[in-house]
Amino acid sequence: MADGSSPNPNNPPPPQMSTQKHPARSDGADSYGDGDQGAASSSRPHLVPEFTVALGRKVVDLAELRRLACQGVPDAAGVRPVVWKLLLGYLPTDHALWAYELEKKRSQYSAFKDELLVNPSEVTRRMEEMTISKRNGHNSEGTGMLPRAEIVHDEHPLSLGKTSVWNQYFQESEIIEQIDRDVKRTHPEMQFFNGDSSDALFNQESLKRILTIFAKLNPGIRYVQGMNEVLAPLYYVFKNDPEENNAESAEADAFFCFVELLSGFRDNFCKQLDNSVVGIRSTISKLSQLLKRHDEELWRHLEVVTKVNPQFYAFRWITLLLTQEFKFRDCIHIWDALLGDPEGPQAALGWRFHCKPQASPELSTHKH
């Protein structure tokens, strides 16, 4: 979203990779919810120097970063938050612009919250105050009468007016209730997302705000069940950034990265496009053909022997990016490769996990 302005030296510092491991959190976030603190084989500490060099360049080489990400991003040193932001286009490749872009986008998200999450009672109150202010300015004779043209119409809880904030509020309440239900079901095994701790409740509220703002800004898609699962890894990674300033801004950063991520396959969430060439059924068909071409044995087992419709397994793979198929820790590492693919996560799903099963022994054990 760069607009050509020069960086502001008064803005906060850009994301930095910490040389210290993130301290253990009281909410159990580092456990990924399955009691496993992360096997040494998956932490990839030997790759830290390579990522340090790649991220330290004045202008980051995205091709180099994608190549490294597909090998796996180290869990320590705060590398992954920066890498994901770059791969999703949230951070520009020019290192000098990082601080400026972060400040601008975080301020923009704050404005979204002020504009889109305000209670209709507050909106009505503000409108009334503006009306009174205008009245006082025009009422030079001091009669105390409010001109009929200045009266606020259609701004009450029973209003059916199309532009009424109250009418819009009640129309959106069903979606907001669905978001609330889904967020509460997000990774119930993880104390980071669920539990009675203040941190867990705060994280839930952050997810709700992100999804609500997205729904209001994207009326053509709004909210579709399962989006909470796609958002969760982004928010988790950014909230666990060892740089405190970045962790505090995880909500804003996750929102924009969520938008960037969905922009690549948003048509799969649009019901009106289900039967089109860009809809979910077409995507499932392409994935099935890829599977047949590169692993006919598995394809035949699924669709001929057991007669499993591709929609029953591929739909979740495509729309939720495998978040429901593996443990959360494993999904984080899988996403390193998905986000690192130059053609995007959807292409990576077909190529990496079907065309090259031998490159991922852990995943290939799930074939049959």
CA–CA distance, 249 with 243 (Å, rounded to integer): 10
CA–CA distance, 294 with 63 (Å, rounded to integer): 26
Domain 45-121+160-264, CATH class in plain words = mainly alpha
Please report, for residues 22, 42, 60, 242, 315, the alpha-carbon distance to residue 18 in angstroms, rounded to integers and kept in the order given: 8, 19, 18, 6, 38
Evaluate if residue 352 carries a pLDDT over 50: yes
Which sequence spans correspond to the domains of the chain?
Answer: 45-121+160-264, 271-350
Around Cβ 175, how many Cβ atoms within 10 Å? 16
* Residue 177 or residue 121, greater confidence: 177
Evaluate if residue 334 carries a pLDDT over 70: yes
List all residues 6 or more positions away from 147 whose beta carbon is below 8 Å from its beta carbon.
Answer: 135, 138
CA–CA distance, 261 with 165 (Å, rounded to integer): 30
Mean pLDDT confidence for 317-344 = 86
> ∠ at Cα 38 (34, 44), nearest 5°?
150
CA–CA distance, 69 with 60 (Å, rounded to integer): 13
| Selection from 14-23, 146-155, 311-320 with the highest mean pLDDT | 311-320
Evaluate if residue 97 carries a pLDDT over 50: yes
* Residue 18 or residue 304, greater confidence: 304
Q: Are 186 and 228 within 8 A, CB to CB?
A: yes
Mean pLDDT confidence for 125-135 = 51
Around Cβ 47, how many Cβ atoms within 10 Å? 17
Mean pLDDT confidence for 76-104 = 95
CA–CA distance, 283 with 277 (Å, rounded to integer): 8
Evaluate if residue 120 carries a pLDDT over 50: yes
For 68: left if phi > 0, alpha if psi spans -120 to 50, otherwise beta; the answer is: alpha
DSSP state of 197: S
* Residue 129 or residue 213, greater confidence: 213
In this structure, what token pair is assigned to residue 273?
């496009």
Say whether pTM exceeds 0.85. Answer: no
Percent of the chain at pLDDT > 90 equals 40
Among 264, 188, 267, 213, residue whose Cα is nearest residue 28: 188
Q: Output the pLDDT for position 319.
A: 74
Mean pLDDT confidence for 95-100 = 96
Task: Give the side-chain half-sphere CA count within 13 A for 133.
Answer: 6
Q: Output the pLDDT for position 205.
A: 97
CA–CA distance, 295 with 357 (Å, rounded to integer): 9
Q: What is the pLDDT of residues 132-150, one digit of tens each?
A: 555 555 554 554 544 544 4
Q: Output the pLDDT for position 266.
A: 57
C-alpha 120, offset from chain centre: 27
Q: Output the pLDDT for position 32.
A: 54
Q: Are 345 and 261 within 8 A, CB to CB?
A: yes
Q: Output the pLDDT for position 271.
A: 57
Q: Output the pLDDT for position 325.
A: 87
